[in-house]
Amino acid sequence: MTYCVAIKLNAGLVFLSDSRTNAGLDQISSFRKMMIYEKRGSRFLVLLSAGNLSIAQSVREALQTTQIVDEEHCGEPTTIWNANSMFDAARVLGCAVRNVHERDGESLRQAGVEFNVSLVLGGQIRGEQMRLFQVYSAGNFIEATDETPYFQVGESKYGKPVLDRILTPDTSLDDAAKCALVSMDSTLKSNLSVGLPLDMVLYENNRYESDKIVCIDEGNPYFRMLHDRWGAELRNAFDTIESPHWDAERQTCASPLHAPGCRYQPLRKTSGPFDR
* Residue ranges per structural domain of the chain: 3-235, 248-276
- pLDDT value of position 274: 46
Share of the chain above pLDDT 70, in %: 85
pLDDT bucket at 72, cuts 50 / 70 / 90: low
CB-based contact 155:2 (threshold 8 Å):
yes
Burial 71-87 (b: 16+ CB within 10 A, else e): eeeeeeebbbebbeebe
The predicted model gives 180-184 an average pLDDT of 97
Digit-coded pLDDT (tens) for 194-222? 999 999 999 999 999 999 999 999 999 99
The predicted model gives 153-166 an average pLDDT of 96
Phi-psi region of 127 (alpha: psi -120 to 50; beta: other; left: phi over 0): left
CATH number of the domain located at residue range(s) 3-235 in this protein: 3.60.20.10
- pLDDT value of position 245: 84
